[in-house]
Amino acid sequence: MSEKKKSETKVEKKVSRRNVLKAVLAVGGAAAVGFSATRRASAQATITLKMQSTWPTKDIFHDIFVAWGKKVEEMAGGRLKIDILPSGSVVPAFSLMDAIHSGTLDGGHGVAAYWFGKNVATSLFGTGPAFGFDAEVLLGWIHYGGGQELYNELIQKILKLDVQSFFHGPMPTQPLGWFKTPITNPGQFKGMKYRTVGLSADLFKAMGASVVILPGGEIVAALDRNLIDAAEFNNTTSDRMLGFPDVRKVMMAQSYHQPMECLELLISKKKYESLPKELQAIIKYAAVAESADFTWKMMDRNSTDLIEMKAKQGVKVVKKIG
């Protein structure tokens, strides 16, 4: 073989080996990029939390729950989806905490007084004696005065439930309720079939009332069918949306039975702790943000609904007994 041909052959081999090496590197690089992209896509996969409220869809409290869910989804950038259902979709309102503990639901929304049947101490976190507190001070104690730790001990250690709570949404002092005629003296409660919840139930039983404990969505139907004589729920907006003015025309304001209460977001503790830390933070701080938003919404909606109930629905508001 001539020297020229030998030289040409060597060059061809070098070029061929170089091309093979480039091809291998290209394939390997593509595979690495593909693996990395797949891993990132997997890490960013959407997590769906199935939750139920203890409120019917037309209640402002259900609206607040939905608004919290939207905040979470927006802040999570698609990594969390909150599937929110109204009261009774999966379990009755008062069975919500058990459904979360068992894994039937991932979370929900209610108030501590709804777990009164499990342990009367739950009511101290919303319907207990005020001790000079309003709902804002109650939340301050919960967040910075050891209240959250006490509640965690009650729910997780004494009741042994896999539930983590986030309190938010301070409520104004609640009306005494809706009646056929004004209440002029405490003696009128003797024998009255009256709906309330929490420690308030024991209070009115002591006053001689026949207390009936019902979730919010069942009250108006019971009033309409005269299964109960009178009832309290929460605020002028919720009461109006649920239809109280359609079945009773006297609303007694200014009461001491529930001067401080707040809403409660509940989630499976195991599910919550399994989430990445940044998603845990989003769930927590979205509740804080919704708490402030709720306060401002209630200022607007409560006042508007009070005015309209009086002007358009013939409701008589009585501010004090006697």
The predicted model scores a pTM of: 0.82
Q: What is the arrangement of strands in the sheet containing 193-195, beginning at the earlier edge strand?
A: 210-212, 193-195, 230-231, 177-179, 250-252, 316-318
**Alpha carbon distance 198, 211 (integer Å):** 11
Name which of 101-105, 157-161, 251-255, 307-311 the model is least confident about.
Answer: 251-255
Cα 147 to Cα 158: distance, rounded to the nearest angstrom: 15
CATH 3.40.190.170 residue spans of the chain: 47-172+259-305
Provide the pLDDT for residue 56. 93
Integer Cα distance of 193 and 188 in angstroms: 11
Residue 183's SS3 state is coil
Distance CA 144, CA 284 (A): 15
Contact between residue 180 and residue 244 where contact means Cβ atoms under 8 Å apart:
no
Average pLDDT for 91-119? 96
Q: Which fold has domain 47-172+259-305?
A: D-Maltodextrin-Binding Protein; domain 2 (3.40.190)
DSSP-derived pairing of the beta strands 250-252 and 316-318: parallel
Chain Cα centroid distance, residue 253 = 26
Buried-state track 284-320, b at ≥16 Cβ within 10 A, e below 16: bebbeebbebbbebbeebbeebbeebeeeeebeebee
Confidence class of residue 168 from pLDDT cuts 50, 70 and 90?
A: very high
Ranges in the chain annotated CATH 3.40.190.10: 177-258
Spacing of C-alpha 68 from chain mean position:
8
Question: Does the 177-258 domain belong in CATH 3.40.190.10?
Answer: yes
Model pLDDT for residues 27-68, shown as the tens digit of each residue: 444 444 444 443 444 456 999 999 999 999 999 999 999 999
Which two tokens mark 94?
């008062």
